[in-house]
Amino acid sequence: MGFEVSCRSLFVNTPNLAQPDQFQSAKKTEVWIEFLEKNKFDTSSIEKIDMSSDCPVIYDKAGNKFSIDFNKDKQNYAKKKISIKKELISRALGAGKYGLRILDLTAGLCIDAVFLAQLGYSVVSLERNPLIYLALTAALEKKPDLDLKIIFNDAYHYLKEQPIHSDVIYFDPMFPEKNKSALPRQEMVFFRNLVGADEDALNVLKEALLIRSVKRVVVKRSIKAPILLKPQSEVKGKLVRFDLYAGAYV
Ligand SMILES: C[S@@+](CC[C@H](N)C(=O)[O-])C[C@H]1O[C@@H](n2cnc3c(N)ncnc32)[C@H](O)[C@@H]1O
């Protein structure tokens, strides 16, 4: 882990605590820096974090930049919605048949979570990478009307320790191979470097399948990716596949 660089020194264009008009955002930035210093993550690939806009922009040492903005990034967050009954991802979740409360174990950029919330689901998303979590929190602050809650936690521990009130669990670990992605290539490279491969995915899935109240567990895979565990059924698209498991409830 490369946490030798102080997190504070990565932040640039931070608001000034001494300026009355910048006081609130400066205080928020302070809270963020403290959060990142407490929850250590690998900073070795990061060049700087630019705080000059509401959503932080993160630059890596290879010149890739990365940010999350639910309002401005229309390509990822303003998809054309057909209906809860017809969308592939929604059909995989049961199209409301099992209930609308979704626990998304892998927030990532929340592209799926935002889409599901826009379709009418009530979504709780977990993210374990502190920097991604903060970028998501900033994006959500600018779009508070979404029925989406983002929690900083590791899914494995959360499933073991917290009471689960969701109807369906959704799980989208990093694909094991290169795949077409909604993100431009440089952003995908950045994202992969930052979060790494989700090698604990099988253990997380096994834990999810033990939750007694959950009616279905859905795992998103690229179409050619190997299964994590043998599913009961699947819903297939052109590029992705959803492996479906009956929850412990059924
Ligand atoms: C492939 S991305 C998810 C993409 C997401 N479905 C979207 O629509 O943007 C995987 C994300 O889940 C996070 N993640 C992976 N395993 C996790 C776990 N066990 N607990 C919490 N977050 C996890 C990673 O840090 C990464 O940000």
pLDDT tens digits, residue range 201-242?
Answer: 999 999 999 998 899 999 999 999 999 999 999 999 999 999
Whether the CB of 156 sits within 6 Å of ligand 1: yes
Query: What's the confidence (pLDDT) of residue 199?
Result: 85
Q: Which two three-digit tokens encode residue 44?
A: 């070795």
Query: What's the confidence (pLDDT) of residue 227?
Result: 94
Domain of residue 100, residue span: 74-246
Residue 199, SS3 per DSSP: coil
* Ranges of the chain whose pLDDT falls below 70: 1-5, 176-186, 248-250
Are 164 and 217 found together in one domain?
A: yes
**Domain presence at residue 194:** yes
Domain boundary among 46, 66, 86: 66
Q: How far apart are CA 35 and CA 130, in angstroms?
A: 8
Are 108 and 170 found together in one domain?
A: yes
Of 86, 146, 152, nearest to 117 (Cα)? 146
Query: What's the confidence (pLDDT) of residue 183?
Result: 60
Of 137, 117, 141, nearest to 129 (Cα)? 137
Side-chain-side CA neighbours of 17 within 13 Å: the count stands at 5
Residue 150, SS3 per DSSP: strand
**Number of domains the chain is built from:** 2
Are 92 and 24 found together in one domain?
A: no
Are 99 and 165 found together in one domain?
A: yes
Are 212 and 88 found together in one domain?
A: yes
CATH of the domain at 104: 3.40.50.150
Query: What's the confidence (pLDDT) of residue 67?
Result: 92
Are 83 and 197 found together in one domain?
A: yes
Are 113 and 174 found together in one domain?
A: yes
Whether the CB of 215 sits within 6 Å of ligand 1: no
Query: What's the confidence (pLDDT) of residue 250?
Result: 55
Are 47 and 120 found together in one domain?
A: no
- Against a cut of 0.95, is the pTM above it? no
Are 102 and 43 found together in one domain?
A: no
Are 37 and 78 found together in one domain?
A: no
Query: What's the confidence (pLDDT) of residue 5?
Result: 61
Distance 171 CA to ligand 1 centre (A): 8
Distance 30 CA to ligand 1 centre (A): 26
Domain boundary among 44, 66, 88: 66
Are 122 and 227 found together in one domain?
A: yes
**Domain presence at residue 2:** no
Domain boundary among 66, 87, 106: 66
Q: How far apart are CA 43 and CA 60, in angstroms?
A: 9
Whether the CB of 132 sits within 6 Å of ligand 1: yes
Tokens 């052109």, located at residue: 238
**Domain presence at residue 107:** yes
